[in-house]
Chains A and B, each alone.
Chain A
Amino acid sequence: MRTSWVKKIKYATFWHVRYGLFDPLTFILISIIVLALYFIVTSESEATIYHNVSLALECTLLPLYALSSSLYLIRDQRVLLFEINMFKDLRCLYISKIISFVISFLPLLVTLSLIGTLFNSSWIILPLTVKIITYASLFASAILLKNTRAALLYLATTYMIVPLSSLVVLTTIVTASKQLIDPLFSVFFYYVSPITMVEFSKFSVIPLSKGYIIALLMSLVIISLSMIIFERLEYDISE
């Protein structure tokens, strides 16, 4: 009767993906994001292309997509308790939520990679992949809030407002002070705005590849820590 953890993760992931993740809104959002990238890579000049990809994808459209996936997976505590009782494994449930979140980005990643490759902008694939992993870590920490409204506030800030502010700060640093971005800030920017950092990496003391590795490691640490906390949370059934 005891099911292996791989099997449990498979069923829990199926539960999340099959019943809700890919609704019509998701495909409308994918179409809008793909169209936006298409227009940017086909009509912009070389000088502004990075800036506009960052503004349109990292600061506006991708956060909306990430929010729609996240908020389906972060429900109130009654649903979470129901899922815990259903799958009878906290760790498998947590991992399945992270996997489901990443899966929700696959159609978008494939389509954007295709557009990028077709229109000589394949550079987009790597930052986009890093972005999805950093999103997954933010999503992982948002699961701990156990509440859709709190998660909405937290994720809107971290998915959208922080990258937008980072873009403004980075532009100001580079144009006004013309100084190199110091290591601590660089790590922060690589983590919160990996797509934007394609344009600004030359002003950072940490090169792009190293910056991405650090961002990925940070994401893995956050995901692992969140998992440990998730397994120890207290749940409230009165919600």
Chain B
Amino acid sequence: MRIEAYDLGKRFGNIWALRNVTLNFEGNVVAILGPNGSGKTTFLTILAGIRYPTEGYVKVNGFEPYRDRFKAVRYISFMFEKPRLPLNVKVKDLIELILEEREDDGEGRELAEKLNIHEFYNEKLYALSSGQAQILGLWVSLACHKGLVIIDEPFAHLDFQRAKALVDIIERRGEIIFSTHVPEEAEALADYVIILRNGKVQWAGLRSELFSRNAYRIYPLVKKHKVIETLRQMGYGNIIDLGLEILVYGCSEEDLTKLISKKIISGFRMGGIKYAYVLGKED
């Protein structure tokens, strides 16, 4: 899919939820990463065509979704967080109705099995837990749909088995834009990452670009201050204490491997996304 945004902004009253968003990229799985209140959901709702921007524009595969609503509704499926519905309808009846209406050739039913929906097949919609409602919302968005899928915080209420199934689906399917506040989710799934903070793009680019930096997340085995001290002695000054882990920039893998063999740290991993997310700037 191709996304092109120019000076995109959305204001609610006096508050700009999104401002000066300019992007132009092609991606298969796109993650919009940011803390709560960063404008992720607002951006997604404009991309889905259900909200109008206050200024600027965004095009999805060449069309502005909020202007060409008919096309947008058909081409873009969406699921926003907290999809709990006060409806007196059984999950089974909803699924059967959708399968019939979308003329399912077996794909929708297979997806329902993968997501383990049969576990709550006879429940009514109003009685579903957050996780069950989320799974059902995902199914409604993905089943028999060939176009773009927009998902707000897809892993928020999922247990690990369903999260695993969803990862498989996202990896196989593509053409998905999802939001998250967890860098690991963006890191694991997206080929293009947009980091938002206070309604502005903090960083945007290919995941490979973030991985190509020498930023690492390291996991201490001894007291944290000792690890930081050792890193400083090795000549690394760009160190951020993240609580359970330490982020270090401009470091070599060889030096970190040495720290493992000295039993100072238990391991490390590439942390370009976390670095951009935490620092709020590119470098």
Contacts and interface: CB of A to CB of B under 8 A. Distances in A.
Contacts of B83: 78, 82
B16 interface: no
A3 B101 contact: yes
B87 A3 contact: no
Main secondary structure of the interface of A (DSSP, over half): helix
Nearest to A233: B50
Interface stretch (B139-147, B161-169, B230-238): B139-147
Given A1-B103, A82-B83, A89-B73, A235 B50 contact: yes
Contacts of A78: 82-85
B52 A85 contact: no
Interface stretch (A7-15, A156-164, A202-210): A7-15
Contacts of B73: 84, 88-90
Interface in B134-192: 137, 140-141, 144, 146
Nearest to A235: B50
Number of contact residues on B: which range applies?
20 to 34
Given A11-B101, A90-B69, A81 B140 contact: no
B70 A90 contact: yes
Contacts of B82: 78
Contact of A14 (B51, B77, B97, B146): B97
B102 A85 contact: no
Contact of A85 (B78, B101, B103): B78
Given A81-B50, A86-B98, 12 more contacts: A1-B146, A11-B101, A15-B97, A19-B89, A82-B83, A82-B140, A85-B79, A85-B141, A88-B74, A234-B51, A234-B52, A235-B50
Interface of A: 1, 3, 7-8, 11, 14-15, 19-20, 75, 78-79, 81-82, 84-91, 231-232, 234-237
Interface of B: 41, 45, 50-52, 69-70, 73-74, 77-80, 82-89, 93, 97-98, 100-103, 137, 140-141, 144, 146
